[in-house]
Chains A and B, each alone.
Chain A
Amino acid sequence: MKDIPEAQALQQSFLERGYVASPALSTALRLVEALGKPLLLEGPAGVGKTEAAKTLAAVLGTPLIRLQCYEGLDAQSALYEWNYARQLLHIRAAEALNQDIDDAALYSEKFLMRRPLLQAISQPTPPVLLIDEVDRADDAFEAFLLELLAEWQVTVPELGTLQAVSRPHVLLTSNRSRELSDALRRRCLYQWVEYPTRAAELEIVQARLPGISQNLARQVTDAVHTLRELPLSKPPGVAETLDWAQALVVLHRDHLDLDALRTTLGTVLKLREDWQLAQPVLEKQVSR
C-alpha cells in the first residue's frame, strides 16, 4: 500500500488509469489521507464518482471494499451477521453428542460473517472503503455512520468492541436523492463532481479507448455535449459516452454518420421521449 501522492502526481496516476480527474478532485483525494477524513462526492449520475474510488484503490494498490446503500439497510447488514444456520447445526451436533453448549463458542469469530464495514476496519493495511449512494440509506443508518466514522470502532455485543486495525480511506457518494444531514456533511470533506468539459471528455474517451479514431472521438463528445444542453429527462453521463464510443468502435466505424447514429443512439439515450427529442437535433448536427 502506497501513501496518497501529491495532488498533481495523483492526477497523473489517475490519468494513466484512464480517469481524468480535475485538480479539485485530486486535491480533495489527497486530503483524505492527510486529514484522515472521509470524502463525500456528490454530482449527477454517471460523472464517475464510483469510478474515482475504484481508481484510487488501483493507484494505491489496496483493496476496494464497497458498501452499496439502499432503503432499509441497517447497521447489522452493513457490519456483521451471525451465521445462524451454522450456529443451529452446532447446537444440534452438541445435543446429539450430549455436549454442553458453550455460549462463548456459539458467538465466536467462527460464526461471525463480516460485512463491508467490519471488513474494512479489519484489514491490516488501509483499504479504500466506498459507501456508495449513501443518500439511499435511511436517517438511522446515516446516524450510525457518524459514530463509525468518528470512532473507527464498532461494538458487537457478544464479542465486545472491535477497534479498527487500520483506518480506511473512505469515499461516500451521493446523487442527492435525499438531503444528507449537516452532521454527516461536516464530518466529511466535500467535492462536487460535474460533467467534464468537452476537452476533458475527449481526453477521457481517448484514454479509455486508445484505438478510437480522433474524428470519431470528437464527434461522439460533441454529440454528447449537445445532448446535455437539451432538456432531457436523463442526460447522458460519462459512462454513456464511453458506451457509445465503444459501440461504434465495435461496429468498425471511424466516424459518426446518420446510419451509425440511428443504430447506436440507444447506448446513450435510455428513454423514448428523450430519443424523440434528441434524434432530429443530432441528425442535423451529424449531417453538417
Chain B
Amino acid sequence: MGRPDVVGDLAAHLPDFAARLRLSHGFLLGPGEVADALRALGAVNILNMHEVRDAWRAIFSTSPEQGRLFDAEFDAFFRFRLLDYPPLPPLLPQIPGGPPQEATAPAGEAQEGQKTTSPRNRGGEQLEAEALPGTAEGQAHDDPDAPETDLTLLARLSPHAGQGGAVTGTPADLPPLLRAARQLVQAVQLGHARRLVPRPTGRKLDARRTVRRAARTAGDPVTLHWLGRPRHAPRFLIVLDGSRSMGEDAQRLLHFAYALQLTARRVEVYAFSTDLVRLTPRLRALKPGQELTLPELGAAWGGGTRIGENLLKLARQERARVGRETAVFILSDGLDTGEPELVRRALRDLSRRAGLTVWLSPLAGVPNYQPIQRAVAAALPSLDALLPAASTADLLALPRRLKNS
C-alpha cells in the first residue's frame, strides 16, 4: 500500500473513528480534534501505525483510562477496517441517545455481570458474617433449602467470582438523600483555609495592595488592605464497598454519594470490590435529572471484598490530595476476605492526613451490633467515628451523630 493510499484511508475513516469514540465511550471530541488529527498525519511517519496511534492518542484522550480505551478501539477499528474486516463490538454499553451499533455484548454476559440484590448474591463473605451474632447480615445467607447454582459455588470459591456489572436506576428517595447530603455538607467544617486572600478585615496587613494603593496618594497609605483566611469548603472522599455482601445498601449508598456530589463541589467517589475504580468522572458526566447509570464496573462491583488492598491503593492514589480539609467516608459493611493488617495500615495513613475519617456501616445500625469484623476492628483505632448507614433515616441523622461522636 503506497503512502497516498494510507493517508487517504486514514483520513477517510477518521470521522467515523472519532464518532465511534464519542458515541461508544463518551470522548469529548469535536471538529477541532479531528482537524488536529489530520494535521498530525503530516508530522508523523504514517507508514508506522504505532506512531499514528501515539499521535492520535495524544490528541483524542484526556486521561489514562481514555488512553487505554483509545488503544483498544484504534487497534480494532483500523487494523481490521483497512483490511475490510467488520468492526469489533464496543467496549462499553452505548450511551443513551447514540445510534445503534452493529453488535453489542452478548446478553448472557451482561446479565451475569449485572449486580443483583438477591440474598443469594450476598454470600461472598458469608463465613465471616456467620460469626456476627445478632446482626442482620449474619442471618442473610443463601437459603439452605435452595439449590446451589454454579454461580453460588463460584462465589464461594473465589473472591473474584461473580464480579462486574452495571448500575442503573434512580431511587424514589433521592430527595431525602439530597437533603441528607446537604445537611452533611453543612455539618462538616474542617477549619479555615491556609492561604491568605484579600478580605475586608483580617489579621494580616496586605502590604502589596496597601503600598500599591498608596501610590495613588503620593506614597501615603491612606487605605489599609487586609488578608484573611476563608472558610474551607471540605473535600469529601467517598469510598464505597460495592461487593456482593453489601446488597441493596451499595445501591443506596452510591446514590447518597451521587447526591453528595450534586450538593458539594469537591467530592471524589471511588468504588471497590476486588479492585478499585474512580467513579467521579462518570458521576460528573451525568446530566441533572438523568437516571444514575454507570456502565460495567468490572472487578469494582459485585464481586468479593478486598478492603485493605483497595484502601491502600486509594491512599496511594489520593496521597497528594488528602489533607486537613478532607473528610474521608468509608461506606462498607467491613466483611472482608483480605488481610486486616492492610486495612490498619491504609486507615492509619489516611487518618493521619485527613481532617475527618468516618466509617459508615450498614451493619452498625443493627441492635447490639459489635464491631468485631476483622477489617472494622483493625480500622477502629484510626477512625473518628463508626456510624450506621442502613437506611435513609440513618443518613439523615448522620450530621447529628457526627456532632455527638
Residues of chain A at the chain B interface (Cβ within 8 Å):
6-8, 23-24, 27-28, 30-31, 33-35, 37, 39-40, 42, 45, 71-72, 81-82, 84-85, 87-88, 91-92, 95, 101, 106, 175-179, 182, 185-186, 189-192, 231-235, 273, 277
Contact = CB atoms under 8 A, between A and B. Distances in A.
Contacts of B208: 81, 84
Contact of A192 (B43, B67, B195): B67
Contacts, number: 117
Nearest to B209: A84
B64 A35 contact: no
A23 B50 contact: yes
A87 B317 CA distance: 47
B173 interface: no
Nearest to B65: A192
B54 A84 contact: no
B10 interface: no
A159 B51 CA distance: 45
Contacts of A35: 36, 39-40, 43, 59
B70 to A, nearest CB: 10
Contacts of A232: 316
B62 interface: yes
Contacts of A42: 63-64
Contacts of B28: 182, 186
Contacts of B281: 179
Contacts of B312: 231, 233
Contacts of A192: 63-64, 67
A23 B54 contact: yes
Contact of B219 (A28, A88, A178, A186): A88
B63 to A, nearest CB: 7
Interface stretch (B122-130, B162-170, B210-218, B387-395): B210-218
A181 B197 CA distance: 23
A273 B54 contact: no
Nearest to B194: A71
Given A42-B64, A233-B315, A235-B316, A34 B39 contact: yes
Contacts of A40: 62
29 contacts: A7-B44, A7-B54, A23-B50, A27-B44, A27-B54, A28-B58, A31-B40, A31-B44, A34-B40, A35-B40, A35-B59, A42-B64, A71-B194, A71-B195, A72-B197, A81-B208, A82-B212, A84-B208, A85-B211, A88-B211, A91-B219, A95-B218, A179-B281, A186-B62, A190-B59, A190-B62, A231-B316, A234-B316, A273-B348
B45 interface: yes
Contacts of B400: none
A182 B36 CA distance: 17
B367 interface: no
Given A24-B54, A233-B319, A106 B40 contact: no
A212 B218 CA distance: 65
Contacts of B50: 23
B13 interface: no
A31 B345 contact: no
Contacts of A182: 28, 62
B99 interface: no
B401 interface: no
